[in-house]
Amino acid sequence: MSTPFDALLAYQRQSEALGRIAQLLGWDHETVMPAGSGDDRSEQMAALAGVLHARGSGAELGDLLSVVDPDQLAGTERRIFDLIQTDFMRRQKVPQDLAVALARITSKSHRAWTEAKAADDVSIFLPMLSEVVNLARQKAEVLADENTPLYDALLQDYEPDGRSAEITEIFDNLRPHLVDLRAEVLERNQSVSLSGHFPMEQQRALTDRVARVFGYDMDRGRIDVAVHPFSSGSGNDVRITTRYDETNPLDSLYSTIHEVGHATYEQNVDQIYNFTPLGNGCSMAIHESQSRIYENQLARSRPFTDWLFSQMKDAFGDLGVSDADGFYRAVNSVKNGYIRTEADELQYNLHIMLRYDLERALIAGDLMVNDLEAAWNDRFRADFGYAVPKASLGMLQDIHWSECLIGYFPTYAIGNIYAACLREAMLKDAPNAIDALAEGRTDTARTWLRENVQQHGRRYKAQEVIEKATGQAASSEPFVRYIREKFAEL
């Protein structure tokens, strides 16, 4: 006999399916959509956003929720109800015309960002970015509770229960360690890099193989090329993109491994949660912990780079480094640079802190969009000690603000912190998990991550996931220990 909860879940499954259609349209927009189809796609995305917003905030869902007695639910059913209700209440606060306007402007601003980056001309992007920020602020104003920073209202889209005051405290504690260690390493470190020509087709073959080594199921996913690597989808259709540089094969390899971390998280969520609110990652920081532990703690470890060195020698011949030790140093090289996605583990979080502070100031109204480039350049010089030479290496390098992903950036750094916590716990339970990578065997590490993190989807909150997996609350201390130990020998 059907229950009120069954009816609610059936309705939600349809909404989840429509959401995945939106993801496919977004993937197509980034990969194979014809250049002249942008305006049509904007209308398609806006129409679908309107439908999804109406389904998520309308009277029909409200009626379905009202006849369910949450006190009669337990376990996963109660968690599903709570997630639907929380999202419903949040969506109800956002007028549908605002939701549609955001969908329409982000599609247009994405194209403006792409053009501005290619032309190295901020002025092409600033008018659209101003509209994005204004709409994001409007959204924050209707969502924010009294005495809550506007930024925190946007943060909830990516890190439910996240608070900027707590994040700021974590970053303020972490920053001195990063600044000091960065100076130490750069003073003694001689940068090592690969050299030679690395044909794209051979890179593609190696990248596909490494993706499979890390557990990416190609029967339920695919790898395409895009300007900015990303993963998209959930359940049994999870796609990733990468990019290729014939002078720098490590960019493609490690971008792909990063996205495989995201994608396998989605692929490994328990199938019983598919097309329910539990069928995705529980927060972006937990999601980022999976991509970061794959990319950094596993794939940049000495055992794995020993294995990868032999694979690359077979694929390309001369790499410009003579042995596995040189290759390890090239993979983990610390050097000055401008691009967040190319930054080493030591400096990456400094890039995030810069963006976090600037976007908070934008939403608070303390920084105007027209002053953003100057503020970026001033902060970059203060943090890194040298100037940004052009906009494409500065404020135009990231896609996030064009997509109104304001509140997303801090989850990258929190994800790094979570990843280090998980690494320590994994090595206590499975001491040989990283050593096995020397043979190209990732199964021990992947099994631990699947069982302790990935299979649960959104069954638990982010802090609960970390506490259940590690036995303690998250802390930045494991990350500090990890980078100090690793970079002491580099």
Please tell me whether residues 317 and 350 are part of one structural domain. yes
Please tell me whether residues 134 and 182 are part of one structural domain. no
If you compute the radius of gyration of the chain from its CA atoms, what whole number of angstroms results?
A: 22
In a domain, 311, yes or no: yes
Please tell me whether residues 213 and 78 are part of one structural domain. no
- Which of 119, 149, 179 corresponds to the end of one domain? 149
In a domain, 159, yes or no: no
In a domain, 158, yes or no: no
In a domain, 61, yes or no: yes
Q: Which of 153-157, 172-176, 451-455 has the lowest mean pLDDT?
A: 172-176
Query: pTM of the entire structure?
Result: 0.92
Q: What is the DSSP letter of 232?
A: E
Domain region containing 375:
164-487
The residues, any chain, with a CB within 8 Å of residue 156's CB and separated by 6 or more, are 90, 143, 162, 407
pLDDT band at 489 (very low <50, low <70, confident <90, very high): confident
Query: Which one of the listed residues 77, 259, 288, 345 is annotated catalytic?
Result: 259
- Which of 116, 149, 182 corresponds to the end of one domain? 149
Please tell me whether residues 194 and 274 are part of one structural domain. yes
259 is catalytic: yes
Please tell me whether residues 360 and 318 are part of one structural domain. yes
Find the mean pLDDT for residues 425-430.
98
Residue 424 has pLDDT above 90, yes or no: yes
Structure tokens of 409?
A: 């950036």
Coil, strand or helix: which one is 242?
A: strand
**Percent of the chain residues past pLDDT 90, beyond the cut:** 89
Q: Per residue in 332-368, pLDDT tens?
A: 999 999 999 889 999 999 999 999 999 999 999 999 9
- Which of 92, 125, 149 corresponds to the end of one domain? 149
Find the mean pLDDT for residues 250-279.
97
Residue 422 has pLDDT above 80, yes or no: yes
Angstrom distance (rounded) from CA 262 to CA 280: 10
**Percent of the chain residues past pLDDT 70, beyond the cut:** 100
Please tell me whether residues 118 and 212 are part of one structural domain. no
Overall domain count for the chain: 2
In a domain, 155, yes or no: no
Per-residue confidence (pLDDT) for residue 227, from 0 to 100: 82
Please tell me whether residues 84 and 204 are part of one structural domain. no
Angstrom distance (rounded) from CA 48 to CA 45: 5
Cα torsion angle, 423, 428, 431, 436, sign: negative
Q: Per residue in 25-63, pLDDT tens?
A: 999 999 999 999 999 998 999 899 889 989 999 999 999
Please tell me whether residues 80 and 169 are part of one structural domain. no
Beta bridge partners of 233: 238
Please tell me whether residues 184 and 53 are part of one structural domain. no
Please tell me whether residues 400 and 479 are part of one structural domain. yes
Residue 100 has pLDDT above 90, yes or no: no
- The CATH code of the domain that includes 393 is 1.10.1370.30
Distances (CA, A) of 392 to 125, 336, 343, 348: 12, 16, 15, 18
Angstrom distance (rounded) from CA 232 to CA 383: 33
Please tell me whether residues 79 and 36 are part of one structural domain. yes
Please tell me whether residues 119 and 190 are part of one structural domain. no
Find the mean pLDDT for residues 161-166.
93
Going through 177-275 in order, the beta strands assigned E by DSSP cover 223-225, 231-234, 237-242
Tally the C-alpha atoms within 13 A of residue 439's C-alpha that lie toward its C-beta. 7
Residue 190 has pLDDT above 80, yes or no: no
Angstrom distance (rounded) from CA 346 to CA 490: 11
pLDDT band at 198 (very low <50, low <70, confident <90, very high): very high
